Amino acid sequence: MNEITYPSPEQVIAFNHLALALVKVKKADRALLMNRTRLLQIIEECINHPGDPYDKAVVLLAGIVKKHPFASGNRRTAFLVMVDFLWDNNTPCRLQNNPEHARVLLGIREGFYTPHEIKEWIQHGKIRPFKR
């Protein structure tokens, strides 16, 4: 069995810078780590979480989205980190470039989706629509 590769805090921080450079949403967006302890906790939870790379990708994605370690771009950063994590671990991600992903990430932040639903979305690209 192959060893799983995990992102370092520095890699996640670099993805925050990249996310904010690539996708400008607000003028006030700034690449700034607000809480290093939270970021370290998210990575540690991913490492300790049982399951396959998809299960661990859910932990990374939801952790960054919900625990909000950055001043701006947490959802954008979480998405990039999740895709890179799967790529690094030779695990296919079925998500295509789609503006609806922003709604799904909002649903993840608000606890609308279960971890199982998020895993299915990452694996197969389908998820029920987010509704408030």
Domain count, the chain: 1
Q: Indicate whether 116 belongs to any domain.
A: no
Q: How confident is the model at residue 1 (pLDDT cuts 50, 70, 90)?
A: low
Q: What is the pLDDT of residue 30?
A: 86
Query: What string of DSSP letters covers the chain?
Result: -PPPP---HHHHHHHHHHHHHH----TT----BS-HHHHHHHHHHHHH--S-HHHHHHHHHHHHHHH--BSS-HHHHHHHHHHHHHHHTT------S-TTHHHHHHHHHTT-S-HHHHHHHHHHS--PPP--
Q: Indicate whether 128 belongs to any domain.
A: no
Find the domain containing 59 and state its range.
Answer: 9-91
Q: Indicate whether 122 belongs to any domain.
A: no
Q: Are 109 and 75 in contact (CB under 8 A)?
A: yes
Q: Indicate whether 100 belongs to any domain.
A: no
Mean pLDDT of all residues in 16-44: 90
Q: Indicate whether 86 belongs to any domain.
A: yes
Greater pLDDT, 39 or 26: 39
Q: What percent of the chain has pLDDT over 90?
A: 82
Q: Indicate whether 79 belongs to any domain.
A: yes
Q: Indicate whether 103 belongs to any domain.
A: no
**pLDDT per residue as tens digits for the range 34-67:** 999 999 999 999 999 999 999 999 999 999 999 9
